Structures are given as C-alpha cells and as structure tokens.
Amino acid sequence: MKTIGIIGGMGPMATVDLMQKIILATDAREDQEHIHLLIDNNTDIPDRTAAILGQGTSPVPELLKSADRLTAQGADFLIMGCNTAHFFLPLMMPFLKIPFISMIEATAEFCQQQGLKKVGLLASAGTCHSGIYQRALHYAGIETIQPDEAQETAIHDMIYTGVKAGRDYYDTTQVRKVLADMTAAGAEAFILGCTEMPLAISQYQLEGNFLDATQILAEKAAATAGAKVISRLPAGKAVLSTEISTY
C-alpha cells in the first residue's frame, strides 16, 4: 500500500483524531495490514485564521517545510486535517513534489453524492471568510448556509475557548441556538468544517445531522492508499448520523 503523509499540528489533538480515523477506517486484521502513516506534528505553523484575517504570519513556509519533510521520508501523497489551511493550498501546490488530497473537495463531492441541496457550515472564522467550502459546494450544485456574524462568533469561541483550550466543560447554549436557527433556514446537514468541531460535538454532546469532514478525508485517504475501507459515513441523506462517534 501507499504511504500517507499527514501535515499535522493544527491542532495536535485534531491530528490524532485524523490518524485514529484512518486506522479505524482500515479493514485490517493485523499490524501488517494497516497503512504506513507519516505525521509531521508541526506546531510551529502559524495560526491560519489570523493569517487569513490579516492579523498574523503566513503559514505557507511552515506548511511547505512539513510537506518537504514528509516527502523526504517516503510519503506517496499528502493530506492535512486543518480545514482553514486549505485556503493556502493554491500557494503550496507549485512547490509540492507528490500529490495532495483536498479535504474540502472530498467533502463537497460527498455532499453531492448524498443528494444534498443545502448544508450548514460550522467552522472557524477563518474558514468561513476564506470561502473555500462555499466555492467547492457551489461547483457541486449545493447551497451553503453560512453563519452570520453572531453565529460565527459563537462557533469560533467554542473552537478556541473550548476545544483548543482543553476545557472539558463549555457552555454550548449559543451554539445549540445556532444549530436550531440554521436548521430552520433549511440546512439538511452540517459540515464540521474545522478539525476541532468533531471533537466539540462529542465532548459537548451536541445533536444534529453532522458530516465529519475529517472522517470523509480519512476514508478517501485510506482508499487512495490501497486499503479496504470500513466506512463510518452515512449511506444516504435519509440516514445522516445525528452524532459523532467517540470511538
């Protein structure tokens, strides 16, 4: 099988989540049937949201350092679990020496396969403002219901003040209202468009029809590597999962 290179460290626990999902998606009976994974847990990569909003350093140099290290170590293709970092992918592509699988494109393709017409986007402010999901979903014929400023603030705060800060308890009252309001606006499902969002859903026991972009990427990466995949993704729009497995 092919070797997967993971550009990680954005954040560290989200990197572990992606790795775990690849392992659990692999139909293996012994160690030797699992995929060779190379992880560069590069915590020197600057904050992607701050860079997009013009308030921080570009992450591209560090992203490329990770890509080069993984390539030199023998990765056959690259992935990264950080949704927001995909905004910088066009700047990275000319310098990459091996293929890259985009989480954003994979998620849009999956939504299209599900027959979805309207999806809500739950993501950091950087991802929402970057337009990466909106563009990919538009090309797939899907309307994006994007959080307004207050809703975006509530989601962003849960990501940064809750999950990234390692808080076991976080008051999710405002986030639950966001989910209810976006559902009323026609959202058939919610894309968890930040690597911390699947962790938040499990940790804070939120309910809704969620599509885990990390899971989608993990399964596509496992299949590309040549593994037989055990899918944890919904089989159709009518049976979308209402919770994220804690494994």
128 is annotated as an active-site residue: no
Q: Under DSSP, is residue 96 helix (H, G, I), strand (E, B) or coil?
A: coil
Task: Name the catalytic one among 6, 19, 137, 194.
Answer: 194
Task: Name the catalytic one among 7, 51, 82, 218.
Answer: 82
111 is annotated as an active-site residue: no
**Residues β-bridged to residue 105:** none
Which residues contact residue 190 at a Cβ distance below 8 angstroms, ignoring those fewer than 6 apart?
119, 120, 121, 122, 179, 182, 208, 209, 210, 211
Q: Under DSSP, is residue 155 helix (H, G, I), strand (E, B) or coil?
A: helix
Q: Under DSSP, is residue 213 helix (H, G, I), strand (E, B) or coil?
A: helix
Q: Which two tokens stand for residue 108?
A: 């849009």
> DSSP code of 26?
B
Dihedral of CA atoms 86, 232, 179, 129 in degrees, nearest 10, equals: 0
Q: Are 76 and 196 in contact (CB under 8 A)?
A: no
Q: Under DSSP, is residue 7 helix (H, G, I), strand (E, B) or coil?
A: strand
User: Catalytic site residues?
Assistant: 82, 194
